[in-house]
Amino acid sequence: MERREDEQQNRDDSRFNQTLKNVQGFLKGRSIPGKVLLTRRPDPPQDPISPTYHRSLSENDAGRNERLDNPIQVEDDDSSKKHDNTYAGKLRSNSSGQRFVKEFQNLKIGVRSSDSARVMKFNKVLSETTVILEKLRELAWNGVPHYMRPDVWRLLLGYAPPNSDRREAVLRRKRLEYLESVGQFYDLPESERSDDEINMLRQIAVDCPRTVPDVSFFQQAQVQKSLERILYTWAIRHPASGYVQGINDLVTPFLVVFLSEYLDGGVDSWSMSDLSAEKVSDVEADCYWCLTKLLDGMQDHYTFAQPGIQRLVFKLKELVRRIDEPVSRHMEEQGLEFLQFAFRWYNCLLIREIPFSLINRLWDTYLAEGDALPDFLVYIYASFLLTWSDELKKLDFQEMVMFLQHLPTHNWTDQELEMVLSRAYMWHSMFNNSPNHLAS
């Protein structure tokens, strides 16, 4: 009996590793040729034991359930009878789940609509001698005014210190450190690089022109050279992972946000040649350090075999099964592995899945989550996937593969994105505060 189980496990591991290898290779392009390279799983495995979800909070993540300005006081069902301000508590006390969802969405829209009031709150928080990061995270989760993003993102990522008296000196020192690293590692003749370094630089040089190809700004030679310097310097200084395809996408939101401090108008009208070499270096440095801070919180997403992504893909599968069992069962019956589509979502943080014009708003929420971001991605991606719940149930394996690799998001606006984030926050509140929802 044990021998048969071991043989089955070996077959499952082999199939999983081959799927992972294929998907990693597909990241060189922006689509997956499903008919050729993806096959349905022949034998759906037995239903695995559902993991218990736990979202660890950093010291900067306190007060996450008070993200909205006017939380509703409700009576909890437990014996303590204390007021529960969480949305999970609201759901438990509400006989109509649909009514709760509608009320939740109205609350979110209400907060987003009071723009002038929110700007005043941002100004108040940012004007303090020492910024209280908990308050800044609560505000940023719902979106950051575009002209405040550079300062807010530097603070949220811990690149700029909360103390305003130290901020300028720290940024100056970190920018100089980046410049020195470029001189030490990038500005070298090829003869002084190892074979591995030469190959890595060549791969980066190949990937940079493929980065956000539908935005003309990223096709400028000077932009691609900046991406190349940032990525190569980062990879050399982080040998545990080195360069992994997909990291090139993660630099792009930082590049756009930090260039916005110097360039006016829309991104498509920008030209890097309008900036001095010093300003370009400062922008690159800010991108480098913010990328470093972001990836420090998800290191195992990009190390060998990318175990962090594999773990989150499994959690996504389990969460979807709990939220929408018919969709989960249909995907299972069709033999579609979550790894075949969700790997790219985690690897590139949805940058390839939605219009680039919406990425900065999405990343406001990403960065506001802080250390808890990897676990919260599971809820965002479940919400994203189940946007097309009805459509998916009508598709066979091949049709689902192609649909999920070419999602109909090209006409999305802030409204669709806000709906995805609202559902994700609601579901996180439900399952995180009520672990029994995820018990087998």
Distance CA 421, CA 21 (A): 31
The label of the residue with tokens 């018990």 reads 439
Q: What DSSP string runs through 26-38?
A: HTTSSS--HHHH-
Look at the pTM and tell me if it is higher than 0.85: no
Top-level class of domain 307-433? mainly alpha
Q: Are 210 and 249 in contact (CB under 8 A)?
A: no
Token pair recorded at residue 407? 């999602």
pLDDT tens digit at each of 440 positions of the chain: 555 555 555 555 555 455 445 544 544 444 333 333 444 555 444 433 333 333 333 333 333 334 444 333 333 344 333 444 333 333 334 433 444 444 444 444 444 534 889 999 999 999 999 999 999 999 999 999 999 999 999 999 999 999 999 999 999 999 999 999 999 999 999 999 999 999 999 999 999 999 999 999 999 999 999 999 999 999 999 999 999 999 999 999 999 999 999 999 999 999 999 999 999 999 999 999 999 999 999 989 999 999 999 999 999 999 999 999 999 999 999 999 999 999 999 999 999 999 999 999 999 999 999 999 999 999 999 999 999 999 999 999 999 999 999 999 999 999 999 999 999 999 999 987 665 555 44
Distance CA 183, CA 116 (A): 45
Q: How many CA atoms lie within 13 A of 38 on its CB side?
A: 27
Q: Indicate where the chain has its CATH 1.10.472.80 domain(s).
A: 307-433
Q: Are 383 and 427 in contact (CB under 8 A)?
A: yes
Give the sign of the dihedral formed by CA 348, CA 374, CA 146, CA 292: negative
Distances (CA, A) of 238 to 53, 132, 243, 409: 30, 30, 8, 34
Q: What DSSP string runs through 299-366?
A: GGGSSTT-HHHHHHHHHHHHHHHHH-HHHHHHHHHHT--THHHHHHHHHHTTTTTS-GGGHHHHHHHH
